[in-house]
Amino acid sequence: MTFLTKCQELGDTIKRAAINSLPQTNKEFMDNFTQLGLSERSVTLLTKLGFVTPTEVQSKAIGPLLEGHDIIATAQTGTGKTAAYALPIIEGLGSQSSGRREIRALILVPTRELALQVKSQVDALSKYQRLKSAAFYGGTGYGAQIGAVRQGIDIAIATPGRLNDLLQRQIMDLSQVQYFVLDEADRMLDMGFMPQVKRVMTMIPEKRQTMMFTATLDHRMQKVASDIMNKPTVIRCKQEELEPASIEQQAHKVGKGEKDDLLLSVLQEWEDATVLVFTRTRRTATQLTRKLKEANVEAEEIHSDISQHKREKTIARYRAGSFNVLVATDIAARGLDVPAITHVVNYDLPTCAADYIHRIGRTGRAGKTGVAHSFISNDQRHLVKDIEKLLGRKFVTVSRAPGIGTGGGVGTRSKHAMEVARSCFAGDGIKIGDCLLKV
């Protein structure tokens, strides 16, 4: 370690000590990244990248992580959680003397799309550091990924399945891991990845810093945390983060066979919209995409039956605005980051309530507003209770408006809108956003 590096490290230590001496009320909600104890080099880069004010999870997590604590934080995609854990890791690795590249940070994610997204953000945030990262995921060949390991990397971002494959082939060495992250841990648990995660943990040192990020913190996640973490700091973001105010949520009671007509009707009303439609199964995604194309709607699909290469090309075209409706399953859209998405449609309700949060979080991003629609058919009404329990409130739903998809005129829709409005405001405490009007 050079004299200059020692001086920089000492300066950062002094700065953090000063921050820690602040009253707790100021420590929880810092209004800029300098106050969080990040180095001047990191703050300069963040400014250039357009980061001005830390999000809640960043404000609460970065300080404890810089101090070396394990943490478990409730935060979903779109809240800035990647930067919340990546910045402390990058600072920690960057302060160490450079030598032969070894995997010193391991980030586990549930899907390929999220792995690629996290890698992109890690690369951007480590621009001023001599760090190298690589993503490891299934659905593609081993050659390039094995080559990345042999060339040497500092940060590995991986899905549990592919990582286990590489470990079994004795391609990867995790004996030098200092930072371990479980990103979207609740989703990994729901997808049945925990046995693979536990196998991975037998390959990394017990002395490490562990970070877990989850959309929900129930007894299952608390059990996982107790098994793998050392007295973690628990960070709970505000309930409002689950339902961002920038997202207008609307719901419709609809017959199972009427969903297609309702979707086509609302798509006609949304001019210049970028729409993401969620289906429960791959088969439904394919059938729905075909019907949309037959109705002259520019639509494409992504799901696990489609090759990774084609999915990446489809997402790139979607992001570029080549078409405006993307039909996807939950797994395929995991980690999808397209700021231009204006509307999310739950054609089918998710079987896992937490996925509702992840779905609607695809819109209303980067300071923009968005709309999330849910189609509730009789066969899926039992799923509503789980979502309501997670949100802590009941859905206010409206029946399908007469005339939608059946040639009804504007007059019919306006009359229906007035009826719904009266019913919404009949009771006390009903907010306009809860009326769920879309007729």
Per-residue pLDDT of the chain in tens (439 residues, 90 and over written 9)? 444 444 445 444 444 443 343 333 333 334 578 888 898 889 889 888 888 788 888 999 999 999 999 999 987 666 788 999 999 999 999 877 667 789 999 999 988 888 988 999 999 999 888 899 999 999 888 999 999 999 999 999 999 999 999 999 999 999 999 999 999 888 888 778 888 998 999 999 999 999 999 877 777 888 888 888 888 889 887 644 455 567 888 889 888 789 999 999 999 988 889 999 999 999 999 999 999 999 999 999 998 888 878 888 998 899 899 999 999 998 766 667 787 899 999 999 998 887 887 788 888 776 678 889 999 998 888 898 888 887 777 776 765 544 444 333 333 343 344 444 444 444 444 433 333 333 2
Q: Which residue has the tokens 């709607």?
A: 297
- In a domain, residue 186? The reply is yes
DSSP state of 138: S
Phi, psi at residue 398, to the nearest 5°?
Answer: -125, 145
Q: Which amino acid is at 263?
A: L
Domain that holds residue 170: 3-240
| CATH number, domain with residue 375 | 3.40.50.300
Same domain, 253 and 178: no
pTM: 0.62
Same domain, 224 and 143: yes
Burial pattern 340-367, b for ≥16 Cβ within 10 A else e, equals ebbbbbbbbbbebbbbbbbbbbbbbbee
Alpha-carbon dihedral sign for residues 164, 168, 170, 171: negative
- In a domain, residue 296? The reply is yes
- In a domain, residue 391? The reply is yes
